[in-house]
């Protein structure tokens, strides 16, 4: 009875909050204190849009209540386009960007570059991108590491908050437990990539008041029922979810989720789980336990690029194929040693999957 009573109070509070603020629901991003829209804007796909269309989609997102924009040094010209899109609306936006900086000097250089590309005086959240190995984490947090550089820039007001991103939830949990300077953590999480260590990371982040940012909520766009997927994630207690958007219809559909965050009914949850059963049989969770490949093949990235091609959106397909051509090693370099399959905790036929992804990534559009 006590649980139900407090549940009713919370519903009343949410209703009052929405009536006062209107539109998109916002949540506090951990100890940053930032109030972020529960639906954020993932900045990867807009690198394929012409500047005019990119600007229009960003402005539509702002007008519809999205205030959290995620980008990165490695997302082509995404930083430049977001900078253009937020012109005149900077006060309504929380900008997050990142780079694979590992050393102090490198971090400072990357931030200076981002400030110029975004055309802003400061960056709300700067994240250390894709920390996947213990050796990388130690480099980042050691004396003279990237964290030291970002802390100096924070003192100067060039960045306001510091975060970390990656695909290894256990390592990210270790990072936020070791260093309180990490104010946010960003990682992939969805109805398929829902391993126990991700729930453990979410719980640890909440206990430490570290903000949680969820990327790849639709597993790179391959999951059906996007609205149900987003609602499922938001009911897990995370702070914001950042799907990529390039169409006005995608913005409108995602915004509707954020305007009234409702938990899934039993019927909706059953529908969602049934719809991904086939996908789960051969789906790379990007845990990276298969890495490193003896031949230097970037296994998990190729899996991800190939999955995105399956979606069938022409612009996304072109982008993924172009990225594949730029990789130093591809599937043709595989020697069929089978080491990746021996290390895969999900017993996936990795070599067969890679051959299929290679076909998708090299076929003519």
What does the pLDDT look like over 216-252, one tens digit per residue?
999 878 899 999 999 999 999 999 999 999 999 999 9
Alpha-carbon dihedral of residues 228, 234, 237, 241, nearest 10 degrees?
140
pLDDT at 285: 82
Confidence of residue 144 (pLDDT cuts 50, 70, 90): very high
In the three-class reduction of DSSP (H, G, I as helix; E, B as strand; rest coil), residue 176 is classed as helix
- Tell which of 242, 265, 288 closes a domain: 265
pLDDT at 2: 31
Confidence of residue 46 (pLDDT cuts 50, 70, 90): very high
In a domain, 2, yes or no: no
Residues 6+ apart with CB under 8 A from 289: 343, 344, 345
CA geometry: angle at 50 spanning 48 and 54, to 5°?
85
Least confident of 3-7, 167-171, 188-192, 319-323: 3-7
Quick one: 305 and 199 in the same domain? Answer: no
pLDDT at 11: 47
pLDDT at 365 exceeding the cut of 70? no
pLDDT at 3 exceeding the cut of 70? no
Confidence of residue 364 (pLDDT cuts 50, 70, 90): confident
pLDDT at 17 exceeding the cut of 60? no
Half-sphere exposure of 65 (CA within 13 A, CB side): 20
pLDDT at 5 exceeding the cut of 90? no
Quick one: 113 and 255 in the same domain? Answer: yes
Q: Read off φ and ψ for residue 60, nearest 5 degrees.
A: -65, -45
pLDDT at 21 exceeding the cut of 80? no
Quick one: 316 and 237 in the same domain? Answer: no
- Tell which of 265, 289, 307 closes a domain: 265
In a domain, 6, yes or no: no
In a domain, 357, yes or no: yes
Structural domain that includes position 319: 299-362
Quick one: 75 and 141 in the same domain? Answer: yes
Rounded Cα gap, residues 71 and 73, in angstroms: 7
Half-sphere exposure of 68 (CA within 13 A, CB side): 29
Quick one: 45 and 156 in the same domain? Answer: yes
In a domain, 10, yes or no: no
Quick one: 313 and 253 in the same domain? Answer: no
Number of domains in the chain: 2
Q: Read off φ and ψ for residue 214, nearest 5 degrees.
A: -105, 120
Quick one: 255 and 312 in the same domain? Answer: no
Q: Taking the model in full, what pTM does it have?
A: 0.85
**Section 325-332 average pLDDT:** 96
In a domain, 1, yes or no: no
- Could you tell me if 261 and 11 are in contact, meaning their C-beta atoms sit under 8 angstroms apart? no
Quick one: 235 and 105 in the same domain? Answer: yes
- Tell which of 245, 265, 285 closes a domain: 265
């Amino acid at each position: 009875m006590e649980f139900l009573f407090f549940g009713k109070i919370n519903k009343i509070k949410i209703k009052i909050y929405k009536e006062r603020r209107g539109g998109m629901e916002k949540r506090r991003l951990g100890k940053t204190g930032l109030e972020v829209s529960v639906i954020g804007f993932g900045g990867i796909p807009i690198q394929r849009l012409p500047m005019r269309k990119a600007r229009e989609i960003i402005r539509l997102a702002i007008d519809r209540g999205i205030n959290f924009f995620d980008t990165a040094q490695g997302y082509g010209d995404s930083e430049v386009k977001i900078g253009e899109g937020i012109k005149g609306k900077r006060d309504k936006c929380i900008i997050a960007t990142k780079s694979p900086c590992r050393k102090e000097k490198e971090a400072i250089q990357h931030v200076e570059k981002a400030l110029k590309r975004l055309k802003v005086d400061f960056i709300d959240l700067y994240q250390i991108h894709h920390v996947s190995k213990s050796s990388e984490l130690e480099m980042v947090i050691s004396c003279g590491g990237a964290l030291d550089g970002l802390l100096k820039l924070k003192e100067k007001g060039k960045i306001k908050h510091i975060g970390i991103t990656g695909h290894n939830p256990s390592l990210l949990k270790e990072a936020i437990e070791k260093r309180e300077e990490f104010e946010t953590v960003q990682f992939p999480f969805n109805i398929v990539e829902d391993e126990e260590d991700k729930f453990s990371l979410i719980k640890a982040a909440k206990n430490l008041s570290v903000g949680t940012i969820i990327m790849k909520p639709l597993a790179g766009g391959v999951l059906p029922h996007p609205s149900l997927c987003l609602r499922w994630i938001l009911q897990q207690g995370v702070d914001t979810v950042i799907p990529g958007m390039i169409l006005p219809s995608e913005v409108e559909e995602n915004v509707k989720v954020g305007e009234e965050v409702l938990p899934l009914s039993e019927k909706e949850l059953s529908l969602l789980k049934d719809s991904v059963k086939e996908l789960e049989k051969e789906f790379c969770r990007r845990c990276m336990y298969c890495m490193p490949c003896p031949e230097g093949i970037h296994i998990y990235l190729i899996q991800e690029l190939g999955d995105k091609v399956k979606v069938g959106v022409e612009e996304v397909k072109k982008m993924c194929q172009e990225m594949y051509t730029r990789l130093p090693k591809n599937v043709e370099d595989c020697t069929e040693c089978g080491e990746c399959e021996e290390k895969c905790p999900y017993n996936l036929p990795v070599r067969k999957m890679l051959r299929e992804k290679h076909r998708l990534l090299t076929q003519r559009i």
